[in-house]
Structure 1
Amino acid sequence: MRTISYEIDPGGDLELVLKEPNTLDVIPVVLPLDDDDATSSDIIFDNSSLSGRYSIFDKFDSQRDTEDPKRFVDGCPDEVRIKVSSRHLILASPVFRKMLEGPWSENASSSPPSEARQIFTTGWDAKALAIVLDVIHSRCQEVPKEINVPLLTRIATIVDYYQCHESLQFVSDVWLNLPDSVVRDPEPNWVDDLMILYSGWVFCHEGISSNKMKVVLRHSPGRSQFDLKDLPLAGLLGRLNNPRQEFVGRVLEGLHVLRKTLFVENGCPEKRLAACSSLTLGVLMRALHQMKRLDPPVTAPFDKYSVTAIFKLIDRFPKHKPSNYRKNYGVCSCDVYKRMQPVIYGIEDEIDNFKATNIQGWGEAQRSI
C-alpha cells in the first residue's frame, strides 16, 4: 500500500487516515436539454497547484489515467496519514467531537497507549483536507490566499460535512474575494456557477450566493439539467426550483389573462384599434395551442424551461399590423410581448432584488455551531 504522511501537530495524539483519497467527484455535469445529445464532460478540473508543504498532494492532480480521468495511474498513493491534535478537532467540529468523545468513539481504532489513536475517513480531496486541518490547527502561514474554484469547492464540502464553518470563516472570506467578472456575470457558466453557489452557501457569503441564485432563477430549466455527482447541492437547487416554477407559471397565467382581456376589449390600449386586438388574440390563441404541443409541453412543473427561455418564446410570437394602420392611425406597436411586459418586468424586478436570505436554511449550519 502506497502512503503519504503529512504532519500538522508533531506531538499530536491522533492520526487521521484518509482512505481512497480524491475519489469523491464534486464537479457537476451539465446535461444538454436534448437527451439524444447528452454527454458527460471529460474536462479535468484540477486543484490549484500549490507550493511548499502542499506540493506533495499535486501528484493526485497530475497522475490521472488519461483514458479514465476518475482513476489514478499506478504509483499514486492509496491513503494519506495526517498527524493531528484530537483537542483541536473536538473544538472545531461537532462531527469530530462525536467521533472522538461519543459513547462508541465512532470510526476510531483502539491503539496501544504508546501509539497515536487512529480515525478513518474516505474519499476526500487530500489537498483540501490538509488545508482545512491546517487552518483548524492555526497553521496558516502557508495556507494559500488564492485558490481556484474546484479547490474551493472541495474545501467547502469538507467544511460542510464536518461543520467546522467557524474555524474556516476568516480564510474563506479571503478565498471568496472573487473578481466581479466572475461573481456578477449574468450569463450562466454552469459548472463554475454551481460550485461557486455551493461554496458561497457553505461559507454564508450573501453577495456571492445571491448573485449565483439569480443566475439559477433566470436561466435554470430545472434540476434535470444537472448531474451533481457528489456535490451536495440538490437541496438548495430544489428550493430555488420552487420560485422558478412560480415565475414560469405566472407568465402562463398572464397569457391566459391577456386572452380573456382581448376577447372583451374594444381596442388595443395604444391606439384603440379593434383590429389590433383581434390580430393579437389570433396570434395568442395559436401560440397557446402550439405551446401545448412542444416537446416537452409548457405545463407544470415546466421542466426544461427557464424563465429566460419563456420570455424569449413569447418575444418570438409573430408580430402583426392592421393593413391600414399607417394611413388611419399612425404607428401601433402592440403585440403579445408588449402586452405581457407588466408581468415580465415584474418578474425581472423580483429576480433582481432576490437575496440568499430569502431561502429557507440560510446560515443554519453557521448558527448551529
Structure 2
Amino acid sequence: MSFNFGTVSNPSDAILTLNSPNAAFAAWDDPQNTASSSATVTFRVVSQSLIQTSRVFKATLNGPWKEGSVAEDGCKNLEAEGWDSEAMRIVLSAIHHRTRDIPRSVTLEMLCKVAVLVDYYELHDTLYFFLNLWINDLWYPLPKVYSRDLILWICITSIFTSANIHQHVTNVAVSHCPSEFRTLDLPIPERVANCINTRRETAMKQLIASLNDIKSKLLEDATGCSFECRSAHLGALVIHMHDERLLDGAIEPPFKGRSVADTVTKMRGIRSPSKDWHVQTSTCELSLKSLTETALKTVDAIQGLKLDDADDCRLIVFTKKGKKSKGRKLED
C-alpha cells in the first residue's frame, strides 16, 4: 500500500516506510492474539513539510544520519515501525495541509492512536484543531469504571490536556482501579501513573484504618451503652473485616484485587447485629452503619488529578524513546 502526498508544484522528495504496521495497541488482555502485519506501507512525502512541522522529523532529515542523505532513487528515506497505518495517514495529511482527507469524527481508539503519534513526533500545534474537534465529539459519556477506554482517555488528556476530562478519568482510576494502574505501554507520564497509585493506596489505607479505629473504640468502651451492646457490634465488625480480608495483615499494598469503590460498597453493606442489644433505659443509637458512614467521609473527598498550573497547564510527557514533549492545552 502506498500514499503520495506530493503535488505538481511541490513534489514528494522523501519516502516514509512504515514497517510492521498495525501492531498490537494498548493490549488489555492477551497481546499475543494481535499480530502486526508483515507488509509495509509507504508514504511519499515532502521533506520540507515534515521539517517545518516536527522537530523530530527536522532532526532526522537534517542530521548526519542516512535519513538525511539522498538515496539512489533520488529520495530521502525514513522508516517507522508498528504505528497504525490509518493514524499515520491522518497525521501526514495534516502535515501536508490536506484537510479534506482528515475525518471529522473518529473512534476513541483512533483518537488515541493519533494522539500517540502526535506525542512521539511533537505535532501538537499541527493537530490541535482536529484533536480538539474529536475530543469534543467523543467525551460524553466518559467511562465510569476502570477499563481500557478509561486508560485511553487518560493517555489522550495527558498529551492534549483537558483539565475537566483529565480530572474525571483519573478520579475514576483512583476509585475503581483494582490493582496498580496499568499504562498499557501508552505514553502516560510516569508521575500521573504514580499519583493514581499513591492516591488509591492512601484511600485504601484510610478505609482500613477507619475500621480499625471503630474496633478500638468498641474494645476500649468508648462507645455503646453496655457490655452486650459493644460485644455484639464488635463481633459483627470483626466478622465483616475477616470475611472481606480487611483485618490487619490480611491485605497489603498494592491491595491487588481490591478497588476503593468496591471496599466502600462493602463497608456500606456491613450488617449490624439483628437483635436489639441496647439498654432499654438508654438513648443509645449505636449501629455499624452509622459508624462506618462517619468513617467513609475520609474518602468522600477523593479527587482526580489536576493539571499543573505552571507552564500554561502543560504536561511533561516522557515517550517510549525517552524524549520529552509538552502537551497542548485544550479548551474545556
Normalization by structure 1: what TM-score? 0.73
CA shift digits 1:318-369 (9 cap, x unpaired): 322453549555793610x431323423312222xx3431699962246489
1:186 aligns with 2:144: yes
Give the match for residue 27 of structure 2.
28
1:317–1:178 Cα change, 3 Å: same
Q: Quick one: distance in 2 between partners of 1:212 and 1:128?
A: 24
1:121–1:97 Cα change, 3 Å: same
1:145 aligns with 2:104: yes
User: Alpha-carbon deviation of 1:248?
Assistant: 0.4
Give the match for residue 186 of structure 2.
231
Give the match for residue 50 of structure 1.
none
Q: Percent identity?
A: 20
Give the match for residue 155 of structure 1.
114
Give the match for residue 117 of structure 1.
76
CA shift digits 1:271-318 (9 cap, x unpaired): x56643332222233444455589x94222212211012212323433
Give the match for residue 219 of structure 2.
263
Give the match for residue 35 of structure 2.
70
Higher alpha-carbon deviation: 238-247 or 283-292: 283-292
Q: Which amino acid in the other structure matches residue 209 of structure 2?
A: E
> Larger relative CO (CA 8 A, sep 6+): 1 or 2?
1
Q: Which amino acid in the other structure matches residue 315 of structure 2?
A: G
Q: Quick one: distance in 1 between partners of 2:179 and 2:151?
A: 13
CA shift digits 1:40-73 (9 cap, x unpaired): 499xxxxxxxxxxxxxxxxxxxxxxxxx65355x
Q: Does the CA contact (< 8 Å) of 1:20 and 1:123 recur in 2?
A: yes
Q: Does the CA contact (< 8 Å) of 1:276 and 1:322 recur in 2?
A: no
1:5 aligns with 2:3: yes
User: Alpha-carbon deviation of 1:173?
Assistant: 0.5
User: Alpha-carbon deviation of 1:169?
Assistant: 1.4
Q: Quick one: distance in 2 between partners of 1:200 and 1:309?
A: 26
Q: Indicate which of 86, 91, 109 corresponds to 2:47.
A: 86
Q: Indicate which of 323, 327, 338 corresponds to 2:290.
A: 338
1:100 aligns with 2:61: yes
3-state SS of the aligned residue for 1:303? Answer: coil
Specify every segment of 5 or more residues in structure 1 that has no aligned partner in the other structure, as ranges.
31-39, 43-67
Q: Which amino acid in the other structure matches residue 298 of structure 1?
A: I
Give the match for residue 298 of structure 1.
251
Q: Quick one: distance in 1 between partners of 2:294 and 2:67?
A: 59
Q: Quick one: distance in 2 between partners of 1:363 and 1:219?
A: 24
Give the match for residue 302 of structure 2.
350
Structure 1 runs, 4 residues or longer, greater than 6 Å off: 358-361
CA shift digits 1:100-127 (9 cap, x unpaired): 223x336555414x71211111111111
3-state SS of the aligned residue for 2:112? Answer: helix
Q: Matched residue pairs, number?
A: 315
Specify every segment of 5 or more residues in structure 2 that has no aligned partner in the other structure, as ranges.
318-324
Give the match for residue 33 of structure 1.
none
Q: Indicate which of 230, 243, 268 corresponds to 1:277.
A: 230
Q: Indicate which of 155, 164, 169 corresponds to 1:212.
A: 169
Q: Which amino acid in the other structure matches residue 257 of structure 1?
A: D
Q: Which amino acid in the other structure matches residue 106 of structure 2?
A: I
Q: Report the RMSD for the aligned CA atoms in angstroms.
A: 3.3
1:358–1:261 Cα change, 3 Å: farther
Give the match for residue 49 of structure 1.
none
Q: Which amino acid in the other structure matches residue 246 of structure 1?
A: T
